[in-house]
Amino acid sequence: MKKVWGILWREQKMIKNAVLGFDIPVSKLDAAVPPMCQKLDTPRPVILTKHKKEMDTFGYTTFSREDFVETVDFDRFSISRIDEQEQDSSSDEYRAPKK
């Protein structure tokens, strides 16, 4: 399962955030933004080609106030992909460095 982290920012401070899991590729921004906006109780932004390229390239994109049709009470909305690394069951054990 892939995860996406959404954050609402106002004056450089995080005012609200949420993490959602998806069974689909989260590089598809069109699929990740609507449920995240619903969870954060905010209107949907207009998704531009710029946002899609940033998400595909960096796994992160930011929507400014101007990307929303409705008036919003925050400065920006950022969304990023969380890549979880697979853990071995033996990786939890401490191993002394080899001499």
Is residue 27 included in any domain, yes or no?
A: yes
Distance CA 30, CA 33 (A): 6
Mean pLDDT of 36-57: 93
Confidence of residue 23 (pLDDT cuts 50, 70, 90): confident
For the entire predicted model, the pTM comes to: 0.77
Is residue 97 included in any domain, yes or no?
A: no
CA distances from residue 78 to 5, 29, 38, 56, 86 in whole angstroms, order as listed: 8, 12, 14, 14, 25
Is residue 31 included in any domain, yes or no?
A: yes
Residue range of the domain that includes 51: 2-84
Cβ neighbours of 76 (radius 10 Å): 17
Mean pLDDT of 32-49: 93
Is residue 65 included in any domain, yes or no?
A: yes
Is residue 90 included in any domain, yes or no?
A: no
Is residue 21 included in any domain, yes or no?
A: yes
Instruction: Kindly report which listed range (6-10, 18-22, 49-53, 60-64) carries the lowest average pLDDT score.
Output: 18-22
Distance CA 29, CA 58 (A): 12
How many domains is the chain built from? Answer: 1
Is residue 96 included in any domain, yes or no?
A: no
Is residue 55 included in any domain, yes or no?
A: yes
